[in-house]
Amino acid sequence: MIVRTATTVLLLLAVAGATSAHAGATSETPIPVVAAPDAAADMAQTAYDPLEGFNRGSYAFSMGLDRAVFRPITHGYMAVTPTPVRHRVSAFVYNLGEPSTFVNDVLQGKPKRAGKTTARFAINSTVGVLGLFDVAAGMGIRSHDADFGQTFGRYGVKPGPYLYVPILGPLNFRDGVGRVFDFFTDPIGLAGQGWSSPFGITRLVTQTIDTRANADLAFRALDQAVDPYATARSAYGQHREALIREATGQVQELPDFDDVPATTDPVAAPSETSTPATESATSAPASSEPAPPPAPSEPQ
């Protein structure tokens, strides 16, 4: 019974690790960030979170579990291994994710990216000693991430409601379904006879600790947030949308920095209106509508 529960937890973590190990590694592809100002940009920043009550409970539970289990293990790992060794572990884990990246590159109709992924996997698995060294990056073939959530997004699927799944962490409906697809289509996972084989379990445990170690700075940042739940939700949403823009080639709709979002919440009834004491908020003509800049060269 305990074994089965443990296996279930490990399975869950596998799904988490499968993509987040990739998401956690540094992507070398510059994320398109430029756009003409858009009045509706405020909406894009606000997470759609109809399940906030459940999600907050799930978040609290997961963070408690992290403090009790994952954080001590990770910090122990970080204490006994020098940084260069951890970098080798990260590179090894990342390399095992490349076939899955390839699958999604192909599904997204991006032969150039698929070629890069193949080249990286071939070079790093051989010259790079089973992926311990990222030789390909040194040759200028830099890594990029791809997963099913991104593939869905590339074809226009919207994120849907935000979801904080216990242990798995932040998701939305689109990327949650993507995670399941990632899990069942991962070529390395299939070749390694599933996640319950000795190879599968070893990979899973390594990946989980590596992912948590790479996310340690993010966890520390969350500790210092006033509302860690809202901060994690915002960061996750922005991170995922940036990854999907990487696949679609779209540019980000940033808010005009001096525009204060319209009051959509009746709670904030303007009882006393005060003029901002800081700036007149018109350093640049807000009405000027420059043509959208050319799409970055990366997509396709």
Report the distance separating Cα 91 and Cα 93, nearest Å. Answer: 6
**2 vs 269 by CB, closer to other proteins:** 269
For other proteins, give the closer residue by CB, 7 or 54: 54
Q: How many CB atoms lie within 10 A of CB 259?
A: 13
For other proteins, the closer of residues 28 and 194 by Cβ is 28
Q: Rounded to the nearest whole angstrom, what is the least distance from the CB of residue 28 to other proteins in the complex?
A: 7
- Sequence-distant (≥ 6) Cβ neighbours of residue 206 within 8 angstroms: 89, 92, 93
Give the nearer residue to other proteins in terms of CB position, either 75 or 158. Answer: 75
- The DSSP code sequence of 206-234 is HHHHHHHHHTHHHHHHHHTSSSHHHHHHH
The CB-of-116 to other proteins minimum distance in angstroms stands at 4
Which residue, 200 or 215, is less far from other proteins as judged by CB?
Answer: 215
Q: Please, which residue, 138 or 194, has the CB nearer to other proteins?
A: 138
SS3 assignment, position 27: coil
3-class DSSP state for residue 291? coil
Smaller CB distance to other proteins: residue 144 or 203?
A: 144
Instruction: Supply the minimum distance, in Å, between the C-beta of residue 220 and other proteins.
Output: 6
Quote the least distance from Cβ 225 to other proteins, whole Å: 5
Closest approach of other proteins to the CB of residue 98, in Å:
11
SS3 category, 171: strand
Q: How near is the Cβ of 297 to other proteins at its closest, in Å?
A: 4
Longest CA span, the chain: 68
Q: Whole-number minimum distance, CB 9 to other proteins, in Å?
A: 25
Region for residue 190 given its phi and psi (left: phi exceeds 0; alpha: psi -120 to 50; beta: otherwise): alpha
Instruction: Confirm if 138 and 132 have CB atoms less than 8 A apart.
Output: no
Q: Is the torsion defined by CA of 146, 164, 13, 225 positive or negative?
A: positive
Nearer CB in complex with other proteins: 142/201: 142
Q: Give the contacts of 6 (CB within 8 A, at least 6 positions apart).
A: none
Q: Which residues of 232-249 are buried (b: 16+ CB within 10 A; e: fewer)?
A: bbbebbeebbebbbbbbe
Closest residue by Cα to residue 56 from 174, 187, 162: 162
Q: Minimum Å distance from CB 6 to other proteins?
A: 28
